[in-house]
Amino acid sequence: MNIDRQSGWLDTAEILVSPNQDDRPDETDICGIVIHNISLPPGQFGGDWIADLFLNRLDPGAHPYFAEIADLRVSAHLLIRRDGELQQFVPFHKRAWHAGVSCWDGRERCNDFTIGIELEGDDETAFTAVQYQQLVAVIKTLLATYPLLTVDRVTGHEHIAAGRKTDPGPYFDWLQLKQLLHT
């Protein structure tokens, strides 16, 4: 697994370019990784709905919940599906629109300096072993590519948008992630 520094793309991911991105204020200031969870419709896994949301092509008539979110303009850098498949929507040196109103270590606008990784999941379901394996491989690759990133600079959406967001949720095993990152 490698990241092309010039393009910002991961060589093992399916590339689906989201329009929901722009330039970072400083593309060398990549110093955090934010873990999220997402399922569309809520609590259901599989299908192309997540990609459709990030690509601005979610059909509001396909599910009642989609009518509420079809106009959102959001993205993450990377999605790790339940089976471990990787889909990348935004090059890592660009700003994905994943964190919203957020604050980390006194810095607001976390999209400016973080990489957003979505895990296909929800707050009520354990994540799969292969998702953890892929997440660890991706994080280790990011650490090797971007010098300001460290193992201690990985957090959850719930931590940077407390009271507003709950992901990756109670079933995300932070201890397991830290142990795997140190092996």
Helix axes 129-145, 174-181, angle to 10 degrees: 50
Reported as type and span, the H/E element at residue 174 is helix 174-181
3-state helix, strand, coil in the chain (%, to 5): 25, 20, 55
Q: Which three-class secondary structure state does DSSP give residue 84?
A: coil
Q: Report, as residue numbers or ranges, the catalytic residues.
A: 118
Q: Could you tell me which of 35, 30, 36 has the C-alpha nearest to residue 145?
A: 30
Q: Which three-class secondary structure state does DSSP give residue 89?
A: coil
DSSP output for 15-80: E---SSEEE-S-TT---EEEEEEE-SSTT---SSHHHHHHTT---TTSSHHHHHHTT-----SEEE
